[in-house]
């Protein structure tokens, strides 16, 4: 059973402008790093929002770990959404909270007990190599460090999938490299499935085992990165 499966997803915001997603199908297997690549306007953000249940497709369905989420709402949807954690281009950390307190936030919201939070937060900081910055505020961190905190926060509730939405797009090439290495490392060590949405071909080439290419809302290629990017 694929961890994420999209079947014939179509999304129409405005019938006058046609579908933003047009019968998009893809499957992400457990443990793989799957890149979804496309130019600006290709429909990547809409696809992400369908995959994480924020947007309801006009037709088609999304399953996460074999459970269809397209029809869920309320607490069932919230619980299914917990399987997919997100990291973002602009990190979206709370500036009033320290690095450790940002990582603790999803645990607090989920009602995890204080003792578990006290032991889990340092482990997460260690995983991303930022134990020394536990008490720093986001304004005291570099872009790469902020993204590491974003990653630690995303992993706090032990998701099945880490969904990266242009998470390296605001970073310089060297920092991008370091973050991609960290994601690869987390994929290896935890066996965590990672889906990377990006407009950067190099990002996909560097770490994705599988890739789906989106153009004008349609999947034009999908398969092993090696095959998709092979030259004739
Ligand atoms: P990408 O992330 O690849 O840039 P998007 O999913 O953001 O693509 O956008 C694809 C197309 O859908 C664009 O033409 C955009 O204007 C349109 N679009 C995105 N969100 C909405 C919305 N909420 N309402 C109407 N049109 C939208
Ligand atoms: P706030 O005052 O915003 O509630 P706290 O400082 O109380 O923030 O921290 C929130 C959470 O972050 C706490 O549950 C605590 O366990 C965790 N935390 C804070 N500082 C550290 C730290 N240095 N190492 C590990 N966990 C921390």
Which stretches within the chain are classed as H helix?
Answer: 44-51, 74-81, 99-109, 114-127, 143-155, 173-190, 201-207, 225-228
Quickly state the pLDDT bin for 63 (edges 50, 70, 90): very high
The pLDDT of residue 73 is above 90: no
Q: How far is the CA of 188 from the centre of ligand 2 (A)?
A: 29
pLDDT one-digit tens code per residue, 148-176? 999 999 999 999 999 999 999 999 999 99
- H helix and E strand count, the chain: 8, 10
**pLDDT reported for residue 80:** 85
CA of 123, nearest ligand number: 2
> CA-CA distances (angstroms) from residue 187 to 51, 129, 180, 198, 203?
20, 15, 10, 18, 15
Mean pLDDT on 135-153: 98
| Check: complex ipTM more than 0.85 | no
Closest ligand 2 atom, CA of 135? Answer: 23
Express each pLDDT in 23-59 by its tens digit: 999 999 999 999 999 999 999 999 999 998 889 999 9
Residue 232 has pLDDT above 70, yes or no: no
Q: What predicted TM-score, i.e. pTM, was given to this entire model?
A: 0.91
Ligand 2 centroid to residue 119 C-alpha, Å: 11
Instruction: Please give the distance, rounded to the nearest whole angstrom, from the Cα atom of residue 51 to the centre of ligand 1.
Output: 15
For residue 108, the ligand 2 atom closest to its alpha carbon is 14
Give the residue, by CA position, lying nearest to ligand 1 atom 24: 13
41 alpha carbon to ligand 1 midpoint, in Å? 6
């Amino acid at each position: 059973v694929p961890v994420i499966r999209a079947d014939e997803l179509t999304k129409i915001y405005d019938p006058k402008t046609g579908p933003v997603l047009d019968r998009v199908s893809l499957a992400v297997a457990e443990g793989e790093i799957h890149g979804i690549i496309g130019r600006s306007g290709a429909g990547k953000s809409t696809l992400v929002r369908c995959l994480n249940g924020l947007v309801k497709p006009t037709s088609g369905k999304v399953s996460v770990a074999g459970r269809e989420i397209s029809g869920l709402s309320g607490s069932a949807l919230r619980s299914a959404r917990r399987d997919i954690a997100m990291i973002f281009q602009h990190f979206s950390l709370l500036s009033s909270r320290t690095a450790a307190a940002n990582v603790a936030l999803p645990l607090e919201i989920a009602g995890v007990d204080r003792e578990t939070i006290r032991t889990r937060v340092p482990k997460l900081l260690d995983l991303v190599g930022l134990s020394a910055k536990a008490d720093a505020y986001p304004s005291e961190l570099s872009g790469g460090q902020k993204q590491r905190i974003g990653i630690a926060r995303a992993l706090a509730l032990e998701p099945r999938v880490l969904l990266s939405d242009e998470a390296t797009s605001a970073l310089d090439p060297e920092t991008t490299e370091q973050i991609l290495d960290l994601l690869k490392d987390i994929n290896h060590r935890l066996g965590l499935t990672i889906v990377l949405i990006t407009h950067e071909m190099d990002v996909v080439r560097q770490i994705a085992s599988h890739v789906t290419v989106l153009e004008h809302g349609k999947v034009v290629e999908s398969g092993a990165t090696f095959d998709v990017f092979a030259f004739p």
